[in-house]
Amino acid sequence: MVMATVLIIDDDKAVRLALQSALEGMGHAVDVSGNGIEGIAVCNVKDFDLVITDLIMPGKDGVETILELKIGNPDLRIIAISGADNNLDIMDTAYRVGADCALTKPFSMSDLADCVNRVLDGSYAV
């Protein structure tokens, strides 16, 4: 698999670090942001192959973040993640606004790797 540039947007530092470590272990180059506002700013100055964003964040939530990112780059691939218990509505909304894949926390690193690989190679069927 070709190495990709990935941006992780999550307000939980432990989640950011765990995802960064896993993705770097897969051979990807990874940047991190602590919120949607910062993540959008980073995407405005650097190109990414993939953005992984939390959906529940203070300030600008993940749905708003996905919408703004897609306006600037309609082809950007996005994975939405959320720890919202049994909240399928927010995951459905994430798909409707442009997420290519959605994972509910906690998820395994093998589930993450599968989602990342399938989204990057374009084989993820929603």
Mean pLDDT, range 111-117, rounded to an integer: 95
Quick check: pTM over 0.75? yes
pLDDT in tens, 54-64: 999 998 999 99
d(CA 78, CA 112): 13
- Fold classified for 5-120: Rossmann fold (3.40.50)
d(CA 20, CA 72): 24
Q: Is 90 helix (H, G, I), strand (E, B) or coil?
A: helix
